[in-house]
Amino acid sequence: MIVVHGISLPPGEFGGDAIERLFTNRLDPGAHPGFAAIAPLRVSAHFLIRRDGALVQFVPCGRRAWHAGESAWGDRVRCNDFSIGIELEGSDDVAYAPAQYAMLGRLIRALRRRYPIADVVGHSDIAAGRKTDPGAAFDWKRLARAVGAMALPGRIAPQPATVRSAPPAQAHPNPHSRFKV
């Protein structure tokens, strides 16, 4: 299974190295008022896709990453044990960038060639009530087209009016529904 996430650090801001610092346990708790609470967390993801489509890998796909937290899918719990986590730089109410969908589609197709991926889900699907990402701004139909999925279940909701355009990202130094794949 692939779990799609959305993350921005500081919240609602794009660019910079805070996400990489969080996933490598090097986040400075004094760098932003919101960082003190999350700096001690030991979290990771297999991949991060930046706003410009740049792909960063943190954990090999054959190893467990700590992206799902308390989670369940079907009759299975502890989704970290059987999933690949892909973080998108973004937030629930900001439209994700076209370059991100393009890279996410390429990455999922590559992962499908290597692993028996049965489902692609949002963090909100496996941690309902606890997590909301990738949020209403994530276009599942667009991802399905990028991946080449033939059909989507009927749970796809229209994009809400609260989706807003993303502010321009700062230069970075390092170049809800689900569907079956």
Report which residue type is found at 144: A
Q: DSSP string covering 42-89, please?
A: ----SEEE-TT--EEE-S-TTS--S-S-S-EETTEE-GGGG-EEEEEE
Catalytic residue (choose from 13, 20, 87, 89) = 87
89 catalytic? Reply is no
CA 13 to centroid of chain Cα atoms = 15
Side-chain-side CA neighbours of 17 within 13 Å: the count stands at 10
Catalytic residue numbers read: 87
